[in-house]
Amino acid sequence: MLYRAQFLLSAVAADQFPAAAENEVAFLGRSNVGKSSLLNALVGERVARVSQTPGRTRAINFFAVLDAKGRRRLVFADLPGYGYAKISRSISEGWAGFVEPYLAHRSTLALCICLIDANVPPQPSDRRLIEWLRGAGRQFQVVATKADRLSGNRRTQSLHALRTALDLDEVLPVSAKTGFGMKELWARIAAGDSTHS
């Protein structure tokens, strides 16, 4: 693996965020979408384990992404799963109140990776999040998780339905289980905010 992650801190309030330095990539999705598994597949088990520690599931967990020489290249922000609670127009209702300020104001936030289960139609909460990110002018990439569960036609149909429902040009299918799509996702992360979703 070229990159590994080093846990920085868990924040439950904006004044606990690490000092803004490297570009940040935020990971968002409903609970159970496969976020921990995906982070695990991207940068190693430690991330998932730390993020799932009791008490940290409702925090923003920050990780430095280090290259093979141990240099800090990026920061990953693992945001709390937005669960099945409704995301209101101001997205913060029923979700940690500091998540919206993070998304709205974090100066180093370069890209939001929005995870949606490829096997489930997009939910209103997913749609509201995407609309909110659009309104806020944030760069985002929608990633369809657990793509290994679908094959052939069904995968194509599901991706098409996602693109249509959310009015997107591109959705990246991935599987933490098989590693499918990981190379493409890393390429998207490396491209940062240089391309539009």
Residues that bind ligand GDP in the complex, under the rule CB under 6 A:
29, 31-37, 81, 145-146, 148-149, 175-177
For the bound state, the minimum distance from the C-beta of residue 15 to ligand GDP, rounded and expressed in Å, comes to 26
For the bound state, the minimum distance from the C-beta of residue 49 to ligand GDP, rounded and expressed in Å, comes to 11
CA 111 to chain centre: 9
For the bound state, the minimum distance from the C-beta of residue 88 to ligand GDP, rounded and expressed in Å, comes to 21
Q: Pick the closest to residue 79 from 155, 27, 157 (CA basis).
A: 27
What backbone torsions phi and psi does residue 153 show, to the nearest 5 degrees? -55, -40
C-beta of 32 vs 195, nearer to ligand GDP:
32
C-beta of 36 vs 125, nearer to ligand GDP:
36
C-beta of 37 vs 108, nearer to ligand GDP:
37
C-beta of 14 vs 182, nearer to ligand GDP:
182
For the four alpha carbons of 185, 110, 98 and 62, in that order, the dihedral sign comes to positive
- Cα 175 to Cα 147: distance, rounded to the nearest angstrom: 5
For the bound state, the minimum distance from the C-beta of residue 184 to ligand GDP, rounded and expressed in Å, comes to 14
Specify the amino acid at residue 155. Answer: R
Looking at the chain, the number of H-run helices and the number of E-run strands are: 6, 7
